[in-house]
Amino acid sequence: MDAEVRAKVLPVLDAAFSPAILHIKAIKEIVKQQKGIPVTVAVEQTDGSVYRFSYTLPPAEHPLGKRNDFYLERMIKFLLWSCGGYRIHVAAPKDLVDRLKLHYVETECGRFDAKLMGTLIYEKPFEIVWAATEADLPKAHEAARALGRHLDGCRIGFDLGASDRKVAAVCDGKVVFSEEVPWMPALQADPQWHYEELMSMLKSAAAHLPRVDAIGGSSAGVYVNNKVQVASLFRSVPTPLFKSRVKEIFLELRKAWNNVPFEVVNDGEVTALAGAMSLQDNSVLGVALGSSEAVGYVTPEGRITSRLNELAFAPVDYRDNAPADEWSGDLGCGVQYFSQQAVGRLLKPAGIDLPGSMTLPEKLKEVQKLMAGGDERARNIFSTIGVYLGYTTALYAEYYDIRNVLTLGRVTSGEGGSIILEKAKEVLCLEFPELVSKIAYHTPNERDKRHGQAIAAASLPSLEK
């Protein structure tokens, strides 16, 4: 960790953790004393949305200034996965921007981001565009949708996860049936298997309703107008079949259900919406620590925006040897800190030896059993994740207007979840006291754990024409 960047609270199992927010904080202190390098970034989406953020990098002669290429790329990486966009306008010194362009051509991680954002999500060539001045950048514009909170009629709500799928029948806001079914969709290469599983799920819920007026769902991945752009659930499906069958699988299902109002969005968005509905408040960032990290955001006005909020791939740790994401190969991204993968990664430093044949969900269950028995090694795992969460909450607050952080997911179940929040609050108190009175942590109650996601998903479509 750089000399200027020192954490007051170190994770007990990961003392090398170098929180991104502390680097940002150190840079802000430096540029108070010395003139820095102003940078403004505008992230453009195909629907016309433009997200703008401004930074100041350290002067080139400062020790931290030697890492300005790294800092600029990491900051833009965060914007790519929190906002999403195919054309990135950067008002900064041209040599900095020229080197940034090379990152997306010459490095594996850069090419991964360029392909995901350009070819797969927005279906446009990915571009880094240099702007001579801030005035040359496109103006900020945000497309927000008032999805959700519709509880009239007979509805089906579903949630598709990596290891289980849930469905509920909801009548005028009341859950009349729900079920959870284990599955492993990421291993299935046949699109027809996926279609039949989803149809079976919907029929199971419909059997408990007099009619089906609307269907709403949440799923891991990126969805635009109910089309699957990127989703790990379908990772085994060959690309030609993905394009011909999976991409419009939910449109196919809607047609099979007489074209009733049908909405599918990212699971993180529904998590945040469920939190906002339960809390009866807005400015909610929902963070689900499950198979991966799923994040969603509800604005102060109670809307869901066109932001991706795929923070599993956003950098939170700036050390050079941070753990790598298994999909992109990038270092220090959220998935390795807020998921079952984080628990699995911390087993060895905690001194817990479990068979390599066990799956991550099975390993998590064993750690939670140890935690219930008072095992200090298990406590250290949840304490470490709590420190990660505290520093990363402050990082997220740089990019989102947050009043409420809702934490949920299997990793937060049981006493371990309480330890995570206890340590996160400790970090805020010691490092970011200005946030203590602004941001409140919440966990769902038992009713919301069972039905909140399904009700929120079912509430997505409006019955109004």
Q: Which helix (H) or strand (E) holds 346?
A: helix 340-350
> What are the φ/ψ torsions at residue 286 (nearest 5 degrees)?
-95, 130
User: What is the reported pLDDT for 4?
Assistant: 66
> 242: burial class by Cβ within 10 Å (0-12, 13-18, 19+)?
buried
Q: 408-432: per-residue pLDDT in tens?
A: 888 998 999 999 999 999 999 999 9
Other CB atoms within 10 A of residue 403 CB? 14
User: What is the reported pLDDT for 448?
Assistant: 66
| Ranges of each domain in the chain | 34-142, 144-465
Structural contact between residues 418 and 449, judged by C-beta atoms closer than 8 angstroms: no
User: What is the reported pLDDT for 198?
Assistant: 97
Question: 294 CB contacts (<8 Å, ≥6 apart)?
Answer: 220, 266, 267, 268, 271, 286, 287, 288, 312, 409
User: What is the reported pLDDT for 373?
Assistant: 95
pTM of the model: 0.89
User: What is the reported pLDDT for 145?
Assistant: 67
What number of helices (H) and strands (E) belong to the chain? 15, 17
Structure tokens at 48: 């016309």
Judge: domain 144-465, CATH 3.30.420.40: yes
One digit per residue, pLDDT tens: the chain, 465 residues? 455 678 999 999 999 999 999 999 999 999 998 999 999 999 999 888 999 999 999 999 998 999 999 999 999 999 999 999 999 999 999 999 999 999 999 999 999 999 999 988 999 999 999 999 999 999 998 776 667 889 899 999 999 988 889 999 999 989 999 998 999 999 999 999 999 999 999 999 999 999 999 999 998 888 888 999 988 899 999 999 999 999 999 999 999 999 999 999 988 888 898 888 888 899 999 998 988 898 999 999 988 888 889 999 999 999 999 999 988 899 999 999 999 999 999 999 999 999 989 999 999 999 999 999 999 999 999 999 999 999 999 999 999 999 999 998 889 989 999 999 999 999 999 999 999 999 999 998 766 665 677 788 999 999 875
User: What is the reported pLDDT for 452?
Assistant: 74
Residue 178 and residue 205: Cα distance in Å, rounded? Answer: 7
Residue 42 and residue 116: Cα distance in Å, rounded? Answer: 18
User: What is the reported pLDDT for 47?
Assistant: 86
User: What is the reported pLDDT for 465?
Assistant: 55
Structural contact between residues 417 and 44, judged by C-beta atoms closer than 8 angstroms: no
Helices 360-372 and 415-431: crossing angle in degrees, nearest 10, is: 80
